[in-house]
A and B are shown apart, each in its own frame.
Chain A
Amino acid sequence: MRFEPTELTADELALQAEVRAFLEHELPRGGFEPGLGMGASRDPAFSKALAARGWVGMALPARYGGRDRSAVDRFVVVEELLRWGAPVGHHWVADRQSGPVINRFGTEAQKERFLPAICRGELSFSIGMSEPDSGSDLASVATRATRAQDGWLVNGTKIWTSGAYENDWFVVLCRTSEEEDRHRGLSQLLVDLHSDGLEVNPIPYLDGSSHFNEVVLNDVYVPDELVLGQPGMGWAQNTSELAYERGGPDRWLSTYVVVEQWLREHADSAAGERGSLLLGDVVARWWGLRQLSLSVARKIDRGEAPALESALVKEMGTRFEQDVLERVLQLVDLEPSAASASLFERLLAAAILTAPSFTIRGGTIEILRSVAAKGLEA
């Protein structure tokens, strides 16, 4: 394990300046409701405007509508979007993981069908991994696909599926054959969320929102051409997909906007003794985490597979997102409300209610520790 220090090149810094100018123009402060990192709201029009600049699916090949940009370029764009609180919800999963996994494992026809629409900011994806009896132990999924004419019939239940109501497709991990090794016989299917036999049931979230869903698949027909990659290779593909979503700025910026807005609205308190200590601590750790996370993106660009490094960053980053919130809470004497006239208090309210999810989504910190501990060097 080694995180090499790295700096942005002149071209990468120019891209950063472009993104900042775009955000100031497109989403001026005070002109929109910022969200908490990747938990921000969805706005298809914003996703399309971003895509028009070439910043959705930008690391995908140009022949499929991408821009052939690097993982570091995508890092530069994404960190600015997240820290701005931009409404990334519509394209987020497609950009971060569905697009890359289709590009990596998909057939030529699948790439031509899905990637250009992802890169236009149109096509949105959900994740079809978790099930009622299958969370951290993902190889135990019970959703099954059985052979049908030129395709598969899928039966089972997926759960905690964010955005299933609004999104277009999801990638379903399911069992396509029984094997002695339970990591074999799994496949990933591209499933239209508007398929016959597919039912989306909302699961009200603790904050009253309704992006969380159960998806019931009842003899949903999936043609052979929508099997992603090789049947039976779903576990390896899925593991690689998880690696894509780990270690990026979305794992340490969820509560950034809370601090920035606190500084904006409570400048006096921030300049005080306790405020300065808080700011110094969180700025130092953001600085360090960002350097580690950027170093992971460089490794990806060199063709390395930094699974251990990504797991370490995600575990540390998501815990820090929660710590940041607690530090702010210890400093402000108020009762936050989602209906407050103060943006800071609205963000604080949202952060209190959603913070527990930071260390759960995309792999719990306990699982990350088990994965990481095995790879550590003596």
Chain B
Amino acid sequence: MTDQLLIDTANQLFAATCTHAAVQDAERDGWAPDVWRTIAEAGFPWVSIAESVGGSGGTLTDAAAIIRIAGGYAAPVPLAETAMLGGWLASMAGLPLPGGPATVVPGQPGDTLGLSGGAVSGRALRVPWGGKAERVVALLPDGDGWVVASMAVGAASVEPGTNLAGEPRDTLVFDRAAADIVPAPAGVDPDALRQRGALARALMMAGALDRMSRLTVEYTRQRRQFGRPVAQFQAVQQHLVHGAQEAAIVTMAAEAAAAAAERGSAVFEIAAAKVLAGQAAASATRAAHQAHGAMGMTQEYPLQHLSRRLWSWRREHGDDAWWSARLGRASAAAGADLLYPSITGGSRVVTV
């Protein structure tokens, strides 16, 4: 269990820095220096990374709690990329951790990034905050195995891009760039990276769904039509209840997945969490927008910070259909007699 003090601190810091204006400005500028400075001072981007390699210490569950809370505030910084993805790859490979923001090459069809003669060349697509990070960490093929490569972003040319939420998703182009290159240790491969990416997005989506549910309850209790708050209409209550349910089930699944990942194999739990999060990004977001009416379609109202992120994050590190097919193939292979035991035992029972 994560320390309540850490959770309270995270809530206070994100609430103070990730104001509506700050998130709007970050979308315009591609960076939120004040948000980053504040969470860096608190050590958040390096939680769960051992102090011996320059991290802040703490458990994966601690990092998961912070990342979930950050999702609820639409925090416009590469927190998950630094703490759970790029920083994780670097620390697993024993590479020095950058002090500033770090990011990761998520691995896209169309990437051409590769090793050549001890240097790194090629294109890496949709790198989160690729142009604003100081280091970018990638998994690159090398013979039959993989290497972890850490490059200074300054060595790349940046083709800016964004996701549907206006978060930077840049293309980085390297040409014989110097890199720290270390063979990937056992258990560090593109599938492990995708699992951690999916876990991070599921956690962020849980936070966003919870905040979206609360925002919708608050709005519909204030907004009056026909002489009473619209929250009193049964048809609107259906939207409110659906939003709260989806927030609850995704939060539960994402937290359980983080706990499982802390223990060991967690593919079942991560798959389930990303499936549920992706489905919620469709249905709960639709319900929240419907309950908000036209107000929810404006930039001035914060719903869009959450709904656009949910739509974007749903598609990153494997969408719900991809994870569902993977989970389903494993369930089919395990067979009928193991179907329920896998629902109670998860990764302890079935290999996904």
Picked from A80, A267, A277, A377, the residue with its CB within 8 Å of the CB of B214 is: A377
Is A256 a contact partner of B332 (Cβ separation < 8 A)? no
Is A288 a contact partner of B249 (Cβ separation < 8 A)? yes
Is B332 a contact partner of A263 (Cβ separation < 8 A)? yes
Interface residue tally for chain B (C-beta within 8 Å): 50
| Stretch in B118-126, B186-194, B342-350 touching the partner | B342-350
Is A277 a contact partner of B324 (Cβ separation < 8 A)? yes
CB distance from A205 to the nearest CB of B (A): 28
Given known contacts A1-B244, A276-B328, A312-B244, A289 and B249 CB-to-CB distance under 8 angstroms? yes
Is A283 a contact partner of B328 (Cβ separation < 8 A)? yes
Q: What chain A residues lie within 8 Å of B249 (beta carbons)?
A: 285, 288-289, 291-292, 316
B164 within 8 A of A: no
Q: Is the interface of B mostly helix, strand, loop or mixed?
A: helix
CB distance from A335 to the nearest CB of B (A): 23
Given known contacts A287-B343, A315-B245, A5 and B256 CB-to-CB distance under 8 angstroms? yes
CB distance from A161 to the nearest CB of B (A): 28
How far, in angstroms, from A372 to B231 measured CA to CA in the complex? 12
Is B340 a contact partner of A256 (Cβ separation < 8 A)? yes
Is A287 a contact partner of B253 (Cβ separation < 8 A)? yes
Contacting A at CB under 8 A, from B209-251, are 213-215, 217-218, 221, 231, 234, 237-238, 240-241, 244-245, 248-251
Per-position 1/0 for A68-98, Cβ under 8 A of B: 0000000000011001000000000000000
**Looking across the interface, which residue of chain B has its beta carbon closest to that of A269?**
B332
Given known contacts A1-B244, A312-B244, A369-B241, A280 and B340 CB-to-CB distance under 8 angstroms? no
Q: What chain A residues lie within 8 Å of B240 (beta carbons)?
A: 373, 376
Picked from B217, B237, B256, the residue with its CB within 8 Å of the CB of A369 is: B237
Q: What chain B residues lie within 8 Å of A292 (beta carbons)?
A: 248-249, 252
- How many A-B contacts at CB < 8 Å in the complex? 149
B333 within 8 A of A: yes
Picked from B213, B324, B344, B346, the residue with its CB within 8 Å of the CB of A16 is: B344
Per-position 1/0 for A265-294, Cβ under 8 A of B: 001001101011111110111111111100
Is A267 a contact partner of B335 (Cβ separation < 8 A)? yes
Per-position 1/0 for B313-352, Cβ under 8 A of A: 0000000010111111101110110011011101000000
Q: What chain A residues lie within 8 Å of B241 (beta carbons)?
A: 312, 315, 368-369, 372-373, 376
Interface residue tally for chain A (C-beta within 8 Å): 50
CB distance from B242 to the nearest CB of A (A): 8
Q: What chain A residues lie within 8 Å of B215 (beta carbons)?
A: 378
Is B221 a contact partner of A378 (Cβ separation < 8 A)? yes
Picked from A8, A280, A370, A377, the residue with its CB within 8 Å of the CB of B325 is: A280
Is B328 a contact partner of A279 (Cβ separation < 8 A)? yes
How far, in angstroms, from A246 to B140 measured CA to CA in the complex? 51
**Looking across the interface, which residue of chain B has its beta carbon closest to that of A278?**
B328
Is B323 a contact partner of A280 (Cβ separation < 8 A)? yes
Is A284 a contact partner of B256 (Cβ separation < 8 A)? no
Q: What chain B residues lie within 8 Å of A83 (beta carbons)?
A: 340
Q: What chain B residues lie within 8 Å of A80 (beta carbons)?
A: 340
CB distance from A14 to the nearest CB of B (A): 13
Is A281 a contact partner of B336 (Cβ separation < 8 A)? no
**Looking across the interface, which residue of chain B has its beta carbon closest to that of A309?**
B248
Is B343 a contact partner of A378 (Cβ separation < 8 A)? no
B170 within 8 A of A: no
Could you jot down 25 A-B contacts, CB within 8 Å? A1-B248, A5-B252, A5-B255, A7-B259, A260-B340, A267-B332, A270-B328, A271-B333, A276-B328, A279-B331, A280-B323, A280-B327, A283-B272, A283-B328, A284-B253, A284-B272, A284-B275, A288-B272, A312-B241, A315-B245, A368-B241, A372-B241, A373-B240, A377-B214, A377-B217
